[in-house]
């Protein structure tokens, strides 16, 4: 899950990253997730604890966090569910949104990224780059071959932006037929024609996926709880875009 709208931001000078399963840091990540997702998707997320975006997957995931060293504030997070831990929660999170049958035959180890978000004031190349650097080092250390995840787009405007972004991504980054997945809840179609020739601004976090070499695996799914459209993306770790692989994976090689 990714948050979308860029806003005016303050400079983040001293950022650090870490991987954690510590309860206090996970709760801080859950608080940031709630803040970002509830604000940008206009949903209460069905939160059982006010102000926290929490589910059963959190307990078995590794949580990657970015912290502002000057303020101590947690400013970005994502969680990774390794294939070895999926039996504890009945599979990947995205199996609840997509039929992933086509991906069951992937040769190698799969991990799933989820709940990725960045504080609005820190949406810049430094923060996103540090988050992805931590992800890349994790993938190499855990010998992950493929990464999947849901890239989310707000439907606050009724779905026009989501459809336009989905179509543009499908036109430019569609995976081969053998990797095609199918939404369990299709995104409602609009009653008016979408101008697919007009370029649309891709949200920064989704753009980062694509720059790293990710592919879109088919049609979007509608997530009514988060009031967003989700696209299943697939990234083959060995095929990371060259200009990013040297920077992100240098320490792990």
Give the pLDDT confidence of 200-216 residue by residue, as tens digits. Answer: 888 888 888 898 889 99
Entry pTM:
0.86
Average model confidence (pLDDT) across the chain: 86
Domains of the chain in sequence order: 15-252 (3.40.630.30)
Q: Which residues pair with 152 in a beta bridge?
A: 230
Give the residue among 101, 61, 98 at the shortest CA–CA distance from 80.
Answer: 61
| HSE-CB of 240 using CA atoms within 13 angstroms | 22
152-187: pLDDT as tens digits? 998 877 788 888 899 999 999 999 999 999 999 998
| For residues 207-227, average pLDDT | 90
| 3-class SS string, 107-167 | CCCEEEEEEEEECHHHCCHHHHHHHHHHHHHHHHHCCCCEEEEEEEEECCCCCHHHHHHHH
Helices 242-249 and 125-141 cross at an angle (nearest 10°) of: 70
**Which helix (H) or strand (E) segment is 208 a member of?**
helix 204-211
C-alpha to C-alpha distance for 9 and 119, rounded to whole angstroms = 9
Residue 228 · residue 41 · CB < 8 Å = yes
Query: 9 φ, ψ to 5°?
Result: -130, 155
pLDDT band of residue 47 (cuts 50, 70, 90) is confident
pLDDT band at 1 (very low <50, low <70, confident <90, very high): low
Burial of 107 (0-12, 13-18, 19+ CB in 10 A): exposed
Evaluate if residue 4 carries a pLDDT over 50: no
**pLDDT of 75:** 97
Given a contact cutoff of 8 angstroms between Cβ atoms, the answer to whether 1 and 37 are in contact is yes
The three-state secondary structure class of 93 is: helix
Tell me, what's the pLDDT at 252?
41
């Amino acid at each position: 899950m990714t948050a979308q709208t860029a806003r005016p931001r303050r400079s983040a000078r001293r950022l650090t990253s870490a991987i954690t399963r510590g309860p206090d840091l996970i709760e801080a990540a859950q608080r940031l997730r709630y803040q970002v997702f509830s604000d940008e998707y206009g949903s209460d997320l069905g939160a059982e604890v006010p102000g926290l975006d929490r589910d059963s997957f959190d307990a078995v995931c590794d949580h990657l966090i970015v912290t502002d060293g000057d303020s101590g504030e947690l400013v970005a997070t994502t969680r990774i569910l390794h294939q070895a831990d999926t039996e504890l929660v009945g599979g990947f999170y995205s199996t609840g949104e997509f039929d992933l049958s086509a991906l069951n035959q992937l040769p190698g180890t799969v991990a799933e990224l989820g709940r990725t978000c960045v504080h609005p004031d820190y949406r810049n190349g430094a923060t996103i780059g540090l988050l992805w650097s931590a992800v890349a080092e994790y993938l190499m250390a855990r010998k992950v071959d493929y990464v999947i995840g849901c890239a989310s787009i707000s439907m606050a405007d009724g779905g026009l932006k989501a459809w336009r972004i989905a179509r543009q991504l499908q036109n430019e980054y569609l995976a081969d037929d053998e990797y095609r997945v199918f939404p369990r809840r299709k995104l409602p179609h609009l009653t008016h024609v979408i101008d697919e020739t007009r370029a649309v601004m891709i949200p920064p976090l989704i753009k980062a996926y694509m720059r790293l070499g990710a592919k879109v695996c088919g049609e979007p799914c509608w997530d009514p709880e988060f009031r967003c459209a989700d696209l299943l993306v697939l990234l083959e770790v060995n095929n990371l875009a060259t200009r990013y692989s040297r920077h992100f994976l240098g320490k792990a090689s």
